[in-house]
Amino acid sequence: MESNASIDVRPQLALGESGGQPCIFGARDDLFKPGDPSPGLFLITAGVACRYSLLASGRRQITAFLLPGDLFGARVFLDVPFDHHLRSISVLDVVHLKRESFASLGAAIAPLRQRAWLAAAQQGAIAREWVLNIGQRTALERVAHLLCELFTRLRMGGLAIGNRCMLPLTQSDLADAVALTPVHFNRTLMDMSRRDWVRFRRGVLEMRNLRALAEIASFDPKYLDVPGEMDDPKQAGEVVTRSLWRYYGVRP
Amino acid sequence: MESNASIDVRPQLALGESGGQPCIFGARDDLFKPGDPSPGLFLITAGVACRYSLLASGRRQITAFLLPGDLFGARVFLDVPFDHHLRSISVLDVVHLKRESFASLGAAIAPLRQRAWLAAAQQGAIAREWVLNIGQRTALERVAHLLCELFTRLRMGGLAIGNRCMLPLTQSDLADAVALTPVHFNRTLMDMSRRDWVRFRRGVLEMRNLRALAEIASFDPKYLDVPGEMDDPKQAGEVVTRSLWRYYGVRP
DNA sequence: CGAACGGTTGACTCGACTCAAATCGTGTGG
DNA sequence: CCACACGATTTGAGTCGAGTCAACCGTTCG
C-alpha cells in the first residue's frame, strides 16, 4: 500500500512555513456558527475550544473538545459550511492558514490537506466513542471516561505534568459534553472526589487514581491512536511552554 | 481556493473501473472486529451495515448505519486498525477494492482516497449529530430524528418511493442506535404509530407525516450535505434496482 | 408441532432531572 | 479596606422518564 511517509506530521511547522498567521481569540468567543463557511485551517497552539449545538429547548450539547495540537476547519476542502458552533472556552492561541493562500501554495497544500483529514478521522473516532459513552454508560462511568480521554489526549501532547494537567473548563462545560445536568455532574464528581480518584479545582485536573477511573469507565485509549498525531518533543515542549504561559498568565 | 472538480463523484464507477470486486456478505455477519486492519475500501451497493461497540455489561451501541452508496474502510489510508465492530445487518452487496491493488493504481487512487475522506467527513458529521440526539433529546424526539435521518439518506440515494423505503432493520437494531431499550423503543414507536406519523412493518418504513416528525425532532438535514455525495440518476437507478432485487428476493 | 425470534403490553423501580437554596471565590466599586 | 455582585459550585427534596422484569402474542421455520 502507499506509504504515509510523505505526510508531514508536524502541523505546527507545516502551517507556520506555509504562511500561517498566529492569532488569538478571547475566552468564550464564538468563532463560527452554523452556516458560516470555513475560512481556512486552524491549529490550536494553546487553550481549549469546543464544537457545540443548541436545541430549541435551550439545552446545549458539546460534541467535541479541541485541545492544543488539534487541527480544525477541514471543511474548507469540502466547500461545506459549518453545521454547528465552534467556540473558544479559554483564551485561544491558533495558527491560521487562510483559504485564500491555498492557491498560491500549489502542490504544497497536499500534505496539509492530508493532515487535516487525519485530524478529522481522529475526531470522528472520538465522536463515535462519545455516542457509546453517552448512550450506554452511567453518570459515574461517563464522567470517568471523559476525564480519562481529556487527560490522555493532553498527555499525548506533552501537556500533562505527572498525573496533573491544566484544563480550563467549568463543570458546566464538562456536563454539557457528557449530557448531564451541571447539578448531577457535580454530584458525580463529588462522589469521585470522595473516593480520592480525581481532584478538579480551578482548572487543574489531578488524576489521583487513573487505574480506578479507567477501570470503571472501561476506557481503552485505542480509539485515540492515529499515526502522525504525536509531535516531536521539541515541538511539544514549545506547546507546553505557550500553554502554561497562557494558563498561568506568567511566562515561566 | 482549490477546485474540487477533479474529484470523482461517482464511486461506483470509480471503484469498478479501478478493479473493485463485487462481493456479497450474509446477514448479521461481522465483517470486522476491533483490532482488525482494514483490507481496503468498500462501497455498499445494496443492503445495510452498521458500526457498533460492546460494553462489558453486554449492552450494544450502534454508532453508525451504512446504507447503499456509503463507502467505508478509509482507515486503510491511516494504517490504523478498527476500534469497533463492523457488521452487516441485511444481506450486503459491496464492491471491494483491495489494499494490495492500491500500489498498482499509482496516482489513480488519489480521487478514491479523496472520496473516502469525503465519506468519512459525512460520517463524522452524522456521529456528532447522534451525540446531540442521544444526549439531549427525549425518546420520542430521538426516534423521530433517527427515522428522519435514515429516510432522508435513503431518499438522497434514490432509494425511497414516495414516502416509503425499505429498511431491513429490527426494532432492536434501531433501539441500539438511539440508546433506548427495545421495550421502550417499541412503546415510543407505538406512540408515533397511533398518531399516524409513521408505519414500520417488516422492514418497510412509511413516513406518513414527515413534517410532524421533523418538527418534533428538530431535524435539519444540513448535516447530511456533503458535496459529491449525490450520484447521477443512472447510477442511482442501478442501485435501486439491485437493492430492490435483494430486498424483495425478486429481480424486478 | 414446537422452538425461536421479534414485537407488544403491564407493573414496578431507579437514576437522573428539576426546583430551590446555600456557599464559596473572585473581582469590582465605593 | 470592606461591601457587594456575580458566576461557579455544592447540597437537599421531590418528580419523572426510561429501565427492568415478566408475560404474552404472532410468524417463521426446522
C-beta of residue A174 within 8 angstroms of C-beta of residue A168: no
pLDDT at B109 over 90: no
Q: Which residues touch strand C (CB under 7 A)?
A: A 138-140, 179-181, 183-184, 202; B 170-172, 182-183, 186-187, 189-190
Which has more pLDDT, B167 or A78? B167
**pLDDT tens-digit map of A4-47:** 333 333 344 445 555 677 888 999 999 999 999 999 999 898 89
Provide the mean pLDDT of chain B: 84
Q: Which residue of B has its CA nearest to A104?
A: B1
**pLDDT tens-digit map of A41-76:** 998 988 999 999 999 888 999 999 999 989 999 988
Would an 8 Å CB–CB cutoff place A250 in contact with chain B? no
Would an 8 Å CB–CB cutoff place A230 in contact with chain B? no
Q: Residue B184's pLDDT is what?
A: 98
How far is the C-alpha of B252 from the C-alpha of B248, rounded, in Å? 9
Residues of B in contact with A56 (CB under 8 A): 218
**Helices and strands in chain A: count of H runs, count of E runs:** 8, 12
Would an 8 Å CB–CB cutoff place B215 in contact with chain A? no
* CA→C1' distance for A59 and C25 (Å): 27
How far is the C-alpha of B177 from the C-alpha of A135, rounded, in Å? 9
pLDDT at A218 over 90: yes
Q: Residue A238's pLDDT is what?
A: 52
C-beta of residue B44 within 8 angstroms of C-beta of residue B92: yes
Within 10 A of A38 (CB to CB), how many other CB atoms are there? 20
Scanning chain B, the segments in alpha helix (DSSP H) are 11-17, 102-105, 109-136, 139-156, 171-178, 182-194, 210-217, 233-248
Q: Look at B136 and A1 and tell me if their CB atoms are within 8 Å.
A: no
Joined together, the cell numbers standing for residue B14 give 470509480
Within 10 A of B28 (CB to CB), how many other CB atoms are there? 10
Q: Which nucleotide is nearest, taking the CA of residue B137 and each C1'?
A: D17
Would an 8 Å CB–CB cutoff place B53 in contact with chain A? yes
C-beta of residue A153 within 8 angstroms of C-beta of residue A67: yes
How far is the C-alpha of A118 from the C-alpha of A74, rounded, in Å? 10
For residue A41, give the nearest of A98, A80, A121, A124 by alpha carbon.
A98
Q: Of B79, B131, B222, which has the smallest distance from its Cβ to A130's Cβ?
A: B131
> Residue B204: what are its φ and ψ, rounded to 5°?
-115, 125
Would an 8 Å CB–CB cutoff place A24 in contact with chain B? no
Nucleotides of C under 7 A from a protein CB: 6-10, 15-20, 25-26
Q: Of A34, A83, A131, which has the smallest distance from its Cβ to B63's Cβ?
A: A131
How far is the C-alpha of A28 from the C-alpha of A87, rounded, in Å? 6
Q: Residue B111's pLDDT is what?
A: 77
**CB neighbours of B164 closer than 8 A, spacing ≥ 6?**
B204, B205, B206, B207
CA distances from A71 to A35, A50, A66, A112, A167 (A): 20, 12, 8, 10, 18
* CA→C1' distance for B144 and D9 (Å): 36
Q: Look at A123 and B124 and tell me if their CB atoms are within 8 Å.
A: yes
Q: Which helix (H) or strand (E) holds A127?
A: helix A109-136
How far is the C-alpha of A14 from the C-alpha of A153, rounded, in Å? 21
Joined together, the cell numbers standing for residue A185 give 455532574
Residues of B in contact with A57 (CB under 8 A): 136
Estimate to the nearest angstrom the gap between the alpha carbon of A221 and the chain centroid.
15
Residues of B in contact with A123 (CB under 8 A): 124
* CA→C1' distance for B176 and C8 (Å): 18
> Residue B84: what are its φ and ψ, rounded to 5°?
-150, 175
**pLDDT tens-digit map of A80-106:** 899 999 999 999 988 888 888 888 877
Q: Look at A75 and B121 and tell me if their CB atoms are within 8 Å.
A: yes
Residues of A in contact with B128 (CB under 8 A): 51, 53, 63-64, 84, 127
C-beta of residue B43 within 8 angstroms of C-beta of residue B94: yes
Residue with cell 508531514: A8
Q: Look at A132 and B55 and tell me if their CB atoms are within 8 Å.
A: yes
Would an 8 Å CB–CB cutoff place A53 in contact with chain B? yes
pTM of the model: 0.88
pLDDT at A151 over 60: yes
Q: Look at B78 and A2 and tell me if their CB atoms are within 8 Å.
A: no
How far is the C-alpha of B81 from the C-alpha of A125, rounded, in Å? 12
The reply to whether the CB atom of residue A138 sits less than 7 A from any atom in nucleic acid chain D is no
How far is the C-alpha of B138 from the C-alpha of B143, rounded, in Å? 9
* CA→C1' distance for B17 and D29 (Å): 42
The reply to whether the CB atom of residue B136 sits less than 7 A from any atom in nucleic acid chain D is no
Which has more pLDDT, B15 or B149? B149
**pLDDT tens-digit map of B62-99:** 999 999 989 999 988 888 899 999 999 999 988 888 88
How far is the C-alpha of B65 from the C-alpha of B123, rounded, in Å? 9
C-beta of residue A99 within 8 angstroms of C-beta of residue A56: no
- Strands of the sheet containing A164-166, edge to edge, are A160-161, A164-166, A204-207, A198-201
